């Protein structure tokens, strides 16, 4: 039997909602079958495509390559949705056009990072309390990329597409960046200087808005240049308040988080504790608790079956059945 593979997503799910973890990974509520939604949520598809496109841009500096990478990711998702009977052509094209506009804008305003590696696959044994490599648990992760600065230091890079931008404090407290830093150190023998998290709003600047009489509106979400240009074309003086608001608009943030060796080592110790917790859910020592935070239920992929996990027909209509994760062999994530 191969080692039990843990991921950041699984650990987060286990702490967030034990029932969701059971549906996704252990099958404790569905007669041993883990469930994979046939319909991938649009937010996940957008995030995956964005990561592929912006990574290609930073790595190659080729705008066409960036758009092609993003399109391939969306096309692969479309193929899976078609096979499951959930493909929506209108949604697909709207998503593709929206992300293309965001990518074009981001390329025009953000500086490129010198990337030395993309989509690095991490798979390392978890360390025991005594520092030995575990014979039972492995941690798996996928780095968006690795940046090398002018001093030769390595930085883990993550690209995020957000509804709203995070504060530096919120990013610094993310367990994911520490877990990945620890795994990267275990895999390569090199301690990363830290993590760079590039956040981008999931929106592109809008076209300039006009009033009914054709004049330029004071309610805008375009770029400052577009606003000034439109005003100039109509020989209309730009409104200083509107221009100040547009100039202050943040479309993205680049967070640079330095990590100490102590912080990285602490992430490794936390992974061992998490492995023990997941193992208790795996072998049934902990009964999965449902709805620990009902505020999260509306966005859960399993909300339609959570109260009736015995409804086999409904489950088969919405999900593919998989072996529990403890019985699966590690597989590489599909390339974007």
Could you write out the DSSP letters of every residue in 100-156?
HHHHHHHHHHSPPP-EEEEEEEEEEEEE-TTSPEEEEEEEEEEEEEEEE-TTS-EEE
The whole-number pLDDT of residue 323 equals 95
Reported pTM: 0.89
Residues 6 or more apart in contact with residue 280 via CB below 8 angstroms: 286
Sign of CA dihedral 78, 81, 82, 83: positive
Predicted confidence at residue 249, as pLDDT, reads: 94
User: What's the pLDDT at 40?
Assistant: 84
Contact yes or no for 82/39 (Cβ under 8 A): no
pLDDT digit string (tens) for 57-80?
999 999 999 999 999 999 999 999
pLDDT of residue 119: 82
The CA-atom distances, in angstroms, between 249 and each of 204, 220, 224, 238, 253 are 12, 11, 9, 17, 11
Provide φ and ψ at 62, rounded to 5°.
-105, 110
Per-residue pLDDT at 20 exceeds 80: yes
Residue 332's pLDDT is what? 53
- Which residue(s) pair with 253 in the sheet? 199
Q: How far apart are CA 81 and CA 38, in angstroms?
A: 7
Q: How far is 323 from 325, CA to CA, in rounded Å?
A: 6
Q: Is the pLDDT of residue 104 over 90?
A: yes
Strands 194-201, 252-258: pairing kind: antiparallel
Q: What is the structure's pLDDT at 294? A: 82
C-alpha dist (Å) from residue 289 to 30, 36, 221: 14, 20, 44
Mean pLDDT of all residues in the chain?
93
Which residues, including other chains, have CB under 8 Å from residue 224's CB and lie 6 or more apart?
243, 246, 247
Average pLDDT for 137-141: 95
> In this predicted structure, which of 187-201, 241-255, 318-332 has the lowest mean pLDDT?
318-332
Give 278's pLDDT tier (boundaries 50, 70, 90).
very high
Q: How far is CA 309 from CA 5, 65, 217, 218, 293, in A?
A: 25, 44, 53, 53, 19
pLDDT band at 309 (very low <50, low <70, confident <90, very high): very high
User: Residue 331 has what pLDDT?
Assistant: 61
pLDDT band, very low/low/confident/very high, at 334 (cuts 50, 70, 90): very low
Structure confidence at residue 208 as a pLDDT band (50, 70, 90): very high
Q: Contact 251/222 with Cβ under 8 angstroms? A: no
Residue 274, phi then psi, degrees to nearest 5: -65, -35
Q: Write down the pLDDT at residue 336.
A: 38
> Mean pLDDT over residues 223-246, rounded?
95
3-state SS class at 17:
coil
CA atoms of 22 and 29, how far apart (whole Å)? 6
């Amino acid at each position: 039997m191969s080692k039990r593979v843990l991921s950041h997503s699984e650990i987060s799910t286990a702490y967030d909602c034990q029932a969701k973890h059971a549906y996704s990974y252990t099958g404790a509520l569905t007669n041993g079958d883990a469930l994979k939604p046939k319909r991938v949520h649009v937010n996940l598809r957008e995030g995956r495509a964005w990561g592929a496109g912006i990574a290609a841009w930073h790595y190659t500096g080729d705008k066409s390559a960036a758009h092609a990478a993003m399109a391939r990711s969306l096309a692969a998702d479309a193929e899976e949705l078609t096979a499951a009977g959930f493909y929506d052509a209108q949604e697909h094209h709207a998503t593709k056009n929206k992300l293309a506009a965001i990518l074009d804008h981001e390329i025009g305003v953000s500086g490129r990072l010198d990337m030395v590696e993309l989509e690095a696959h991490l798979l390392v044994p978890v360390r025991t309390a005594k520092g030995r490599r575990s014979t039972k648990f492995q941690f798996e992760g996928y780095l968006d990329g690795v940046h090398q600065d002018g001093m030769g230091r390595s930085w883990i890079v993550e690209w995020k597409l957000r509804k709203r931008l995070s504060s530096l404090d919120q990013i610094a407290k993310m367990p994911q960046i520490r877990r990945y830093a620890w795994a990267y150190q275990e895999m390569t023998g090199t301690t990363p200087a830290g993590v760079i998290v590039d956040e981008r709003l999931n929106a592109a600047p809008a076209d300039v808005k006009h009033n009914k009489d054709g004049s330029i509106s004071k309610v805008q979400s375009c770029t400052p240049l577009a606003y000034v240009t439109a005003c100039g074309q109509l020989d209309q003086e730009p409104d200083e308040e509107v221009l100040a608001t547009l100039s202050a608009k943040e479309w993205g943030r680049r967070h640079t988080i330095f990590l100490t060796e102590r912080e990285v080592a602490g992430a490794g110790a936390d992974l061992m504790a998490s492995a023990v917790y997941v193992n208790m859910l795996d072998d049934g020592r902990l009964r999965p608790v449902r709805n620990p935070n009902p505020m999260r239920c509306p966005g859960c992929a399993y909300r339609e079956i959570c109260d009736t996990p015995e409804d086999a027909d409904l489950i088969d209509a919405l999900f593919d059945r998989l072996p529990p994760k403890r019985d699966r062999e590690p597989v590489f994530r599909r390339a974007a």
